[in-house]
Amino acid sequence: MEEMMRQALGEYFGYDSFRPGQEQVISAILSGRDVLTVMPTGGGKSICYQLPAVMADGITLVISPLISLMQDQVRSLIQTGIRAAYLNSTLTPAQQSLALRRASQGAYQIIYVAPERLSLPSFRAFAQRAPIVFITVDEAHCISQWGHDFRPSYLEIADFLACLPRRPVVAAFTATATEAVRRDIVRSLALRSPEVFVSGFDRPNLYFETQEPKNRDQAVLDAIARFPERSGIVYCLTRKKVEELCDILGQNGVQATRYHAGLSPEERRNNQEDFLYDRKRVMVATNAFGMGIDKPNVGFVIHCGLPSNPESYYQEAGRAGRDGAPAQCILLFLRRDIQVNRYFIENKGEENAGLTPEQLAAQQQADTRRLQQMVDYATTPRCLRQSLLSYFGEKAPGQCGNCSNCLNGQAPEDMTALGREIVLCVAELAREGRAFGMLALVSILTGTAGDTLYWLHPEHLDCYGKCAAIPPRKLKQAVQAMTDQGFLARSAGEKQVLELTLKATELVSGKEHLLLKPRTRKKPLPRPAVSDAPPDAALFDRLRETRAALAKRDGVPAFMVFSDAVLKEMCRLLPRSREELMQVKGVGTHKANRYGEVFLRVLNQR
Ligand code: ADP
Ligand code: ZN
């Protein structure tokens, strides 16, 4: 079996070895086990179900949330020699019945469908007759109400499975799932004693950076200017900002296009293709863009605004560097982003129609907690990679050497002692039944509240004037950092006073430290190592031109012919024959047949 798997991997995808986790998942599926696989974006999930699909005797159904992307996914499979099709509302009724008829005749190995389709009588009738042996549920976290991306239509999957005469093997895939979401997936899909695979979340080729810039638009321009040759995505929180920033980029000579839910479906499709086909270098988008986009050569993902939770952030940022080449994930954060996100959380009503008030409250609480974690990431002076990985429950060393905090060169300032004084002060006020905002707190600690808070007789407090020797600016920074890092929380309601959190006790006990991110950077950040330049730039350019011509001929994006990584590998190995070409990672039998001769001609001319 292992041998056959390896052979199919080479034949269809041109790879000679599996990535961590892939082999185990595929073996489990082929031996008839249900599986739940948690793998980070860019980790290589697709092959985990595409390979069993081509090896299985029968039809594989892939349930995927976004119909706008199915066409690309299917096109890409056809490029690798796999018979695939999709069924969704973008097809005319005539096309749909033709596809179903061909599917019944065994024309396809893989069929992509959206979950809404599963309850259509015509589709059910087909599914009950067809030899469906394997079902993949992509983005499976969408089934969980407690997740960050709930889609009610996913709840119909279990019912669909139950209506099939023979239950196929079911494999669920997701890039983000906490323990609770994982349990939800297993239960809601009614998986049968599934094997659960959770692969490591680290993506070593990604560099992480956070900034709180003075002028954010300029910071976006500066960040893009670091990558003159590469394409990338800029995420914004609102449609309005997408429009504005896309214009600004255009005025500054950056070829940019845009994507958000307010555009017509045609324009969305066109803009998405402009980006996929490298006609536009930068995509400016809301989070509506990207799920299922597997453009491998995305060199950077910039967030112009704070995402609502670390799950979304890691998923969006993870769209950089799928090809394994060094890539950057930059978060440009401003304090007002927190308010915008709070507003989103409070006004999620539409999506959550049908939830009871208790469920709604629980969900808002979970959302608020996740937002706090995101603020923590944006402001932490600790290693950013470690911060993300530990959120996903993974241990990581304290220094990764490939994030802006590790490369900063300045050690964070330890303000634990000051933090303790602040905790004691807030606790003392709470015992008196009082709570205040940042400014009042600072004036009590510095002993300057005599006029403004005279009615409180603050001089009777133990903490009054306790920090008189410390500049108020420093105290404000400390209080701010304590809020960012979750030692203090703003109370709900209008007054927004500061309260202690459970974590605050760990500051007093010494389990946690209050570290302050160095605010100024003397030197610009060292550029992270980017050492994957091809050995022969001229040859690389000629190969790229060849690829562009073939892509145009076949009407597919360039990366579907071969990725940049494959072309670079060609420059290194300089294959002269078909056999040698097949040694290049990423060249499978099908693509060697289809494109080998043309590329060999270029390589042999060298
Ligand atoms: P995910 O769906 O988990 O986000 P993909 O399936 O899109 O990730 O895979 C990410 C990239 O890794 C793709 O470009 C894919 O071709 C590549 N890849 C996957 N498996 C392997 C492998 N075994 N060897 C080399 N590259 C791989
Ligand atoms: Zn680091």
What's the pLDDT tens digit per position in 154-205?
999 999 999 999 999 999 999 877 788 889 999 999 999 999 998 888 999 9
Instruction: Check: CB of residue 306 under 8 Å from CB of residue 338.
Output: yes
How many beta carbons lie within 10 A of that of residue 339, not counting itself?
Answer: 10
Strand partners, 489: 499
pTM of the shown model: 0.80
Mutate to test the pocket of ligand 1, among 139, 276, 322, 560 (most ligand atoms within 8 A of CB): 322
pLDDT digits (tens, 9 = 90+) for 41-88: 888 899 999 999 999 999 999 999 877 778 888 988 998 899 999 998
Helix pair 384-391, 310-317: axis angle to 10 deg: 120
Asked whether 22 and 47 are in contact (CB, 8 A), the reply is yes
Cα of 487 from ligand 1 centre, angstroms:
40
Q: How confident is the model at residue 235 (pLDDT cuts 50, 70, 90)?
A: very high
Q: pLDDT tens digits, residue range 371-389?
A: 999 999 999 999 999 999 9
How far apart CA 539 and CA 571 sit, in angstroms, is 7
**Measured in angstroms, how far is the CA atom of residue 320 from the centroid of ligand 1?**
12
Which residues 6+ apart lie within 8 Å of 131 measured at CB? 57, 58, 59, 106
User: Which pLDDT value is given to residue 379?
Assistant: 94
Q: 523 pLDDT exceeds 70?
A: no
- Round to whole Å and give the CA distance between 2 and 407: 42
User: Which atom of ligand 1 approaches the CA of 45 most closely?
Assistant: 3
Q: Which ligand is nearest to the CA of 584?
A: 1
Q: Write down the pLDDT at residue 348.
A: 76
CA of residue 80 to ligand 1 center, whole Å:
14
State the closest ligand 1 atom to the C-alpha of 13, by its place in the atom list counted from 1.
16
Q: How confident is the model at residue 352 (pLDDT cuts 50, 70, 90)?
A: low
In angstroms, the CA 204 to CA 321 distance is: 10
Ligand 2 center from residue 412 Cα (angstroms): 13
Which protein residues touch ligand 1 with a CB less than 6 Å away? 15, 18-19, 22, 39, 41-47, 294, 296, 322-323
Residue count (the chain): 606
Q: Could you report the per-residue pLDDT of 427-466, keeping only the tens digit for each?
A: 999 998 889 999 999 999 999 887 788 888 888 889 999 9
Question: Which ligand 1 atom sits closest to the C-alpha of 17?
Answer: 23
Residue 318 CA: nearest ligand 1 atom is 4
Nearest residue (by CA) to ligand 1, atom 11, is 322
CA nearest 595: which of 80, 16, 8, 51?
80
Reduced to 3 states, what is the DSSP secondary structure of residue 464?
coil
Q: Among the atoms of ligand 1, which is closest to the Cα of residue 15? A: 24
pLDDT at 349: 64
- First CA to last CA distance, the chain: 41
CB atoms within 10 A of CB 163: 11
Which of 7, 24, 47 best tests ligand 1's pocket when mutated (most atoms within 8 Å of CB)? 47
Ligand 1 midpoint to CA 15 (Å): 10
Most ligand 1 atoms within 8 A of CB, residue of 11, 12, 13, 587 to mutate: 13
**Ligand 1 nearest-atom number relative to CA 175:** 3
Rounded Cα–Cα distance for residues 132 and 109 (Å):
10
Using CB atoms within 10 Å of the CB of residue 343, give its burial: 0 to 12 exposed, 13 to 18 middle, 19+ buried: exposed
CA 526 to ligand 2 centroid distance, Å: 13
Confidence at 531, pLDDT banded by 50, 70, 90: low
Ligand nearest to the CA of 407: 2
pLDDT at 524: 53
Q: What is the DSSP string of 71-93?
A: HHHHHHHHHTT--EEEESTTS-H
Residue 525 is predicted with a pLDDT of 56
Contact at 8 Å (CB) between 57 and 35? Answer: no
Mean pLDDT of 596-605: 92
Q: Is the separation of the CB atoms in 545 and 431 below 8 Å?
A: no
The closest residue, in CA terms, to atom 12 on ligand 1 is: 44
Pocket test residue of 6, 12, 19 for ligand 1, highest count of atoms within 8 A of CB: 19
Looking at the CA of residue 46, tell me the nearest atom of ligand 1: 6
Contact 257, 284 (CB under 8 A): yes
- Averaged pLDDT of the chain: 90
Domains and CATH numbers, the chain: 2-198 (3.40.50.300), 206-391 (3.40.50.300), 413-516 (1.10.10.10), 537-604 (1.10.150.80)
> What integer is the mean pLDDT of 344-367?
78
What is the torsion angle, in degrees rounded to the nearest 10, for the CA atoms of residue 15, residue 16, residue 19 and residue 25?
A: 90
Question: What is the model's pLDDT at position 557?
Answer: 86
For 71-85, 98-112, 137-151, which range has the lowest pLDDT when averaged over its residues? Answer: 137-151
Residue nearest atom 19 of ligand 1, based on CA coordinates = 44
Provide the pLDDT for residue 356. 80
Neighbours of 326 (CB within 10 A): 18
Nearest to 459 by CA among 467, 449, 469, 468: 449
Cα(382) to centroid of ligand 2, in Å?
7
Per-residue confidence (pLDDT) for residue 520, from 0 to 100:
61
Q: Which residue owns the Cα nearest ligand 1 atom 9?
A: 44
Measured from the alpha carbon of residue 591, the closest ligand is: 1
Ligand 1 mean position, distance from CA 23 (Å): 13
- Ligand 2 centroid to Cα of residue 408, in Å, is 10
Confidence at residue 362, expressed as pLDDT on a 0 to 100 scale: 81
Mean local confidence (pLDDT), 423-428: 94
Buried b (16+ CB within 10 A) or exposed e, 212-242: eeeebbebbbebbebbeebbbbbbbbebebb
Q: What is the mean pLDDT of residues 556-577?
A: 89
**DSSP single-letter state for residue 498:** E
Q: How far is the CA of 41 from the centre of ligand 1 (A)?
A: 9
For 29-53, write each residue's pLDDT tens digit.
Answer: 999 999 999 998 888 899 999 999 9
Q: What is the pLDDT of residue 380?
A: 93
Ligand nearest the Cα atom of residue 587: 1
Q: Name the residue at shortest CA distance from atom 5 of ligand 1.
A: 44
